[in-house]
Amino acid sequence: MIIVIDYGSGNLRSVAKALETTGATVRITGQPQDLAHASHLVLPGVGAFADCRRNLETADLIPPILDHVRAGKPFLGICVGMQLLFSEGHEFGIHPGLDLIRGQVVRFSNRMPDPNQTGSALKVPHMGWNRLRLTGSHPLWNRIADGTHGYFVHSYHVQADDPHTVAAWSDHGIAFPAAIAKENLFGTQFHPEKSQEAGLQLLRNFVEWRP
């Protein structure tokens, strides 16, 4: 049973539909008691870090999420869902994350030079297709080649205290973590549900993953 967590943020249905193409049984729910029945949890996210964190807390979803992670079950965070795994987010102040991975979530600078247009700055938010530079092997990279493109929509990026937790890098003026991995946790800054065949392959790998 794959559960997509409904906490009032994220394109839940598109994530669930992409997971369903793998043949998995998928359920969208925001009921804390339901999460205990999940073999795999998926936390999507769209919007502000602080609002997403507050929604999780208000819905009493943090304890069952932590129970799932501590039990060693597979967990996938997507976009803000990945960012929430970190210690804190710096958006309109400093706000606590789940602190499952040490690090911060910070905004891209508005002053990053555009290498394709002299005198221009890169746009924020970062939107579109970017190359993934995989840092090594991982079960979720099975049948996904280094240099594959993912689809991104974000103004903030993570800074991991431990670089060994970075599973892939990408670039937007600076190098930033495009994916993270730690034990039974995996996170993508890009949207696998919008990343065509490579994204669907990652979701297939996640469904098959047994850490």
Instruction: List active site positions.
Output: 79, 191, 193
Identify whether the C-beta of residue 58 lies closer than 8 Å to the C-beta of residue 35.
no
List of residues 6+ apart from 188 with CB closer than 8 A: 76, 77, 78, 79, 82, 150, 178, 179, 202
Strands 149-154 and 126-131: antiparallel
Classify the phi-psi angles of 8: left when phi > 0, otherwise alpha if psi is within -120 to 50, otherwise beta.
left
Alpha carbons 83 and 159: distance in angstroms, whole number: 10
Asked if 121 and 112 touch (Cβ cutoff 8 Å), the reply is yes
- Report which of 154, 162, 151 is spatially closest to residue 195, judged by C-alpha positions: 151
CA angle in degrees (0–180, nearest 5) for 103-107-171: 85
Instruction: Decide if 165 contacts 180 (C-beta within 8 A).
Output: yes
| Residue indicated by tokens 């976009």 | 79
